[in-house]
Amino acid sequence: MNIVTDINSWVQFRKSVQNKTIGFIPTMGNLHAGHLSLCRRARGKNDITVVSIFINPYQFDQAEDFKQYQLAQDLTQDQTLLESAGIDVLFLPTAEMLYQDNYEFQIIETAESTILEGAHRPGHFTGVLTIVLKLCNLIMPTRAYFGEKDYQQYLLVKKMVQALFLPIEIIACKTVRDSDGLAYSSRNTRLTLEERKQAALFAEILRSGQNALQVEKILLQLGFAVEYVADCWGRRLAAIKLGNVRLIDNIEIK
């Protein structure tokens, strides 16, 4: 696996593979089975697979959440996982490289980013869309891969790519779940043992067949702090908190 740590080196590498298809997976590290499923999907369709690891400071609405992501970072472990997954290039930019403009230029969506996650995390999607656009402009992928767990994020990235005429195919990949049904997330590792057991009920109740109001009521009765349960885009989406850990999930409504 080729590890690239500066933009100039990446630009030179990108010129050398102009005639090859590139699959791209942007991540914030602390990789898990969900990320690896994206890697497998990308490898199966592209000549070269690129993964970036960058904890984007501008998509966090809570300073403590950003700090926890930084504390959980283990580049050695992530590198080992990516090598085992057969990834061709790991791109490791810094904030100084990517934000030479000091975040003066931002990508703002004014409709679907204002509800659900956008309503509860002000500025989050502006940070997400801005960094995804920067990374896509650098990587110039043929296809970029996003997990359906962050379904609203996937929709907004796809919408941005279409609106700005970027020649990139945005691929949605199904949510990968642990054996008890909980969606894999980097945040899961911050749950206590008791919270982790309770978290499995989150996915179970979401899939229970109850309507959204009933699901919210049951989650509250079980001790979850519920931010929202809503039916939108053919999905049921929800966000809850267990202790200090915030989790999101969604299921397709059939």
Q: Report whether 198 contacts 240 (CB < 8 A).
A: no
* Greatest pairwise CA separation for the chain in angstroms: 58
In single-letter form, the type of residue at position 29 comes to: G
What's the per-residue H, E or C state across the chain?
A: CEEECCHHHHHHHHHHCCCCCEEEEEECCCCCHHHHHHHHHHHCCCCEEEEEECCCHHHCCCHHHHHHHHHHCCHHHHHHHHHHCCCCEEECCCHHHHCCCCCCCCCCCCCHHHCCHHHHCCCHHHHHHHHHHHHHHHHCCCEEEEEHHHHHHHHHHHHHHHHCCCCCEEEEECCCECCCCCECCHHHHHCCHHHHHHHHHHHHHHCCCCCHHHHHHHHHHCCCEEEEEEEECCEEEEEEEECCEEEEEEEECC
Catalytic residue at 120? Answer: no
Catalytic residue among 32, 35, 120, 124: 35
Residues labelled catalytic = 35
